[in-house]
């Protein structure tokens, strides 16, 4: 069977987008999803995103990591909004449902501002912070991020957590409100050029541990730059927004 697909990227996080409103894509077939994401034998991507109909929201976003596991993806969510606009499902504002619940978003000139879930699962540990932002994140500050062995250290930390494990974010502070981030992503099992839920976790972790007092954080990543804003009340983070670009790359057809 042939499927049309679209490729989008958000600060280097790249996704295969499929309009599955007819619900004919074999989403239970993990091997198909993994093969599509394979950068040598498939299209190549960090994940696959399906857009489906929903009875209450504008659309449903289903996200699969490159290994076929499901979770929420912040940059994927922003790309899903851009894709839904290109499909004429939405205009400039939307509400959609995803793995971790409903989301609000607005798109303007390829910049998508995405409301993330409220965050209160924050565990400050001896040398790191664990934050749940729609998926699991370990946040750890390091020196000389350029030279840091992100893959080796990230892989080791990722499996030290109980199943399903954790994404791992290594952070270097640039100034009072800017933190550079490199991320090892579970499900991809490699460093990616960006991670939306990851930079959200970093912003909240840096505020929680008083590395910053700002509620608007700039987060340079390997694939560009993202911003996270929030409101904090008694350790509870709400009105959390992730903002950055979401760009169409190309479209094609593939036989599955």
Q: What is the pLDDT of residues 202-217, one digit of tens each?
A: 999 999 999 999 999 9
**pLDDT above 90 coverage of the chain, percent:** 99
pLDDT digits (tens, 9 = 90+) for 35-65: 999 999 999 999 999 999 999 999 999 999 9
Q: Which CATH superfamily is domain 2-113+246-251 in?
A: Diaminopimelate Epimerase; Chain A, domain 1 (3.10.310.10)
Q: Quick check: 79 and 67 in contact, CB under 8 A? A: no
Contact 81/96 with Cβ under 8 angstroms? Answer: yes
Instruction: Decide if 37 is catalytic.
Output: no
pLDDT in tens, 84-121: 999 999 999 999 999 999 999 999 999 999 999 999 99
pLDDT (tens digit per residue) in 61-85: 999 999 999 999 999 999 999 999 9
Q: Distance between CA 31 and CA 234 in Å, rounded?
A: 45
Domain 2-113+246-251 and domain 122-243 have a common topology: yes
73 is catalytic: yes
Catalytic residue chosen out of the listed positions 36, 73, 116, 117: 73
Per-domain residue ranges for the chain? 2-113+246-251, 122-243
Confidence grade of residue 26 (pLDDT, cut at 50, 70, 90) = very high
Confidence of residue 218 (pLDDT cuts 50, 70, 90): very high
Q: How many Cβ atoms are within 10 Å of 205's Cβ, its own excluded?
A: 27
Candidate CATH numbers 3.30.56.10, 3.10.310.10, 3.40.630.30, 3.40.50.10860; the one for domain 122-243: 3.10.310.10
The pLDDT value given to residue 75: 98
Q: Given the residues 48, 84, 195, 242, select the one marked as catalytic.
A: 195
Tell me, what's the pLDDT at 1?
A: 87
Alpha-carbon span 91 to 79, nearest angstrom: 14
Q: At what angle do helices 196-208 and 74-86 cross, to 10 degrees?
A: 130
> Cβ distance 148 to 114 under 8 Å?
no
């Amino acid at each position: 069977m042939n499927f049309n697909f679209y490729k989008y990227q958000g600060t280097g996080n790249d996704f295969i987008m499929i309009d599955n409103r007819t619900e004919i894509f074999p989403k239970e077939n993990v091997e198909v999803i993994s093969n599509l994401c394979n950068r040598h034998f498939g299209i190549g991507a960090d994940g696959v995103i399906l857009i489906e109909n929903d009875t209450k929201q504008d659309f449903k976003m289903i996200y699969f990591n490159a290994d076929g596991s499901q979770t929420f993806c912040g940059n994927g969510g922003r790309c899903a909004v851009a894709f839904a606009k290109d499909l004429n499902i939405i205009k400039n504002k939307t509400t959609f449902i995803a793995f971790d619940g409903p989301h609000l978003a607005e798109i303007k000139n390829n910049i998508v501002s995405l409301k993330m879930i409220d965050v209160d699962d924050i565990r400050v540990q001896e040398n790191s912070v664990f934050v749940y932002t729609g998926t699991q994140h370990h946040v750890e500050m390091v020196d000389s991020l350029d030279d840091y062995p992100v893959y080796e250290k990230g892989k080791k930390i990722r499996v030290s957590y109980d199943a399903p494990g954790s994404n791992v974010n290594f952070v270097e502070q640039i100034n009072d409100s800017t933190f550079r981030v490199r991320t090892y992503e579970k499900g991809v099992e490699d460093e990616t050029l960006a991670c939306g839920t990851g930079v959200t976790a970093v912003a909240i972790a840096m505020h929680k541990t008083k590395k910053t007092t700002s509620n608007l954080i700039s987060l340079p990543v390997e694939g560009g730059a993202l911003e996270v804003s929030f409101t904090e009340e008694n350790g509870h983070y709400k009105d959390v927004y992730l903002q950055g670009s979401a760009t169409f790359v190309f479209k094609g057809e593939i036989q599955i």
